[in-house]
Amino acid sequence: MMARALRLAEKGAYTTRPNPMVGCVLTQGEVVVGEGFHVRAGEPHAEVNALAAAGGQSRGATAYVTLEPCAHTGRTGPCADALIQAGVARVVAAMRDPFIQVDGEGFAKLEAAGIRVESGLMQSQARALNRGWLSRLERGRPWLRIKLATSLDGRSALASGESKWISGEASRLDVHRWRARAGAILTGAGTVLIDDPSLTVRFEDDTAFEPPMRVVLDPGLATVARGRVREGGAPTLYLHAPDAKPPRGMAAQTAVAPVHEGRFDLDAVLRLLAQREINEVQVEAGATLAGAFLAAHLVDEILLYVAPVLLGDRARPLFDGLHIDEMTQRLNVQIVDTRRIGDDVRLLLQPQAP
């Protein structure tokens, strides 16, 4: 039942931001009498949708929820109260909600009303599902994924900077699914000037999604007047150095980020995005920014498309600025998933703590 609730929750992957994905299954014995998931911030929570689906059958039911039912009135009313009013007998949650306004209060409310409460069933899966939201709440910065395409010999672009295309069409379509999960797609001014990407989500079907914000790290605001990142139905935010002055009328699309010795303080950049309720960031940039994030140990996940081509030794590496002279300094990554995508191989990697 909890696995079913988790699958339901994931249906909100492209729409719940900045809220977490949550699923709920209501049962009477072995029979599912109602189920629901949280679709969009501001709309009803998972439990309320499941209760509505169960109608009169929720009295005496067990509720399987992927997150502790909320106790607060935010954009919607408290789910704990809704479960109590519906006469639910037992609540099984996958995890406690660390959100400051809930944080155990939901469980306490339910227990005070005589409802049996258990928590922790499939907890690691529930945490993995909302890793971005948890990262923002618990670490004060978003979950960071770097998307890269590489040749077999580990090159990301020709010496000229040209990189269209290394990975195949199937891989480039796959990227859109990952973009849609992120609250922000982050790139650098260099990529805007050389590749001119639009960084929007384009699906071939009519899957609903919230367009992720595009973020350009542009110390001197050199790219604000050009580039396809300004087009399309998604907002764009330019982060710039304190001494750059945003052009007239662009104050809302720009923000200052700290710069030390000519380089952005990337940790501060991520904190700034967390303050704007970004749970998950997907970096799509060149070797300089990718290398800087990696060297700063800020990368949680690398989405790597390996194409069956060789670009030779004049081409650019995957990561710039990683200076490793001894084996003890090397960076280890864990392979979390491998998959064939068209003619390419997709690797999902997690850098190991130093």
Can you give the binding site for ligand AOF, defined by CB under 6 A?
A: 19-20, 22, 38, 41, 45-47, 67, 69-70, 74-76, 79, 97, 99, 102
Bridge partners (DSSP) listed for residue 291: none
CB 290: neighbour CB atoms within 10 A? 25
Q: Quick one: which H or E segment has residue 119?
A: strand 116-119
Binding partner of residue 46 among Zn ion, ligand AOF, none, CB cut-off 5 to 8 Å per kind? ligand AOF
Which one of residues 5, 21, 51, 70 is an interface residue with Zn ion (CB under 5 A)? 70
The minimum distance between CB 16 and ligand AOF, in angstroms, equals: 7
The minimum distance between CB 67 and ligand AOF, in angstroms, equals: 5
The minimum distance between CB 40 and Zn ion, in angstroms, equals: 13
Does 79 engage in binding with Zn ion (CB under 5 A)? yes
**Smaller CB distance to Zn ion: residue 70 or 199?**
70
HSE at residue 128, side-chain half, CA atoms within 13 A, is: 8
Does 21 engage in binding with Zn ion (CB under 5 A)? no
**Smaller CB distance to ligand AOF: residue 20 or 219?**
20
**Residue 294, SS3 per DSSP:** helix
Residue type, 71: A
Among the listed residues 35, 47, 105, 280, the single catalytic one is 47
**Smaller CB distance to Zn ion: residue 111 or 162?**
111
CA–CA distances in Å: residue 336 to residues 1, 86, 345, 347: 26, 41, 13, 8
> Can 280 be counted among the known catalytic residues?
no
Does 251 show up as a binding residue in the annotation? no
Strands (E), 154-313: 155-157, 184-188, 213-217, 236-240, 254-256, 259-260, 263-264, 280-283, 301-307
**Smaller CB distance to ligand AOF: residue 6 or 70?**
70
Q: Which residue is nearest to ligand AOF (CB)?
A: 74
Residue type, 1: M
Does 45 engage in binding with Zn ion (CB under 5 A)? yes
The minimum distance between CB 304 and ligand AOF, in angstroms, equals: 31
Strands (E), 181-225: 184-188, 213-217
| Residues binding Zn ion: number (CB under 5 A) | 3
Residue bearing tokens 């209501």: 26
Q: With b meaning 16 or more CB within 10 Å and e meaning fewer, what string describes 20-43?
A: bbbbbbbbbeeebbbbbbbbebee
Does 79 show up as a binding residue in the annotation? yes
Binding partner of residue 291 among Zn ion, ligand AOF, none, CB cut-off 5 to 8 Å per kind? none
Does 191 show up as a binding residue in the annotation? yes
The minimum distance between CB 175 and ligand AOF, in angstroms, equals: 27
Q: Is 4 exposed, middle or buried (0-12, 13-18, 19+ CB in 10 A)?
A: middle
Dihedral of CA 255/256/262/264: which sign? negative
Q: Which residues bind Zn ion (CB under 5 A)?
A: 45, 70, 79
Annotated binding-site members for NADP(+): 149, 165, 191, 195, 199, 286-292
Catalytic residues: 47
Binding residues for substrate: 163, 179, 202, 284
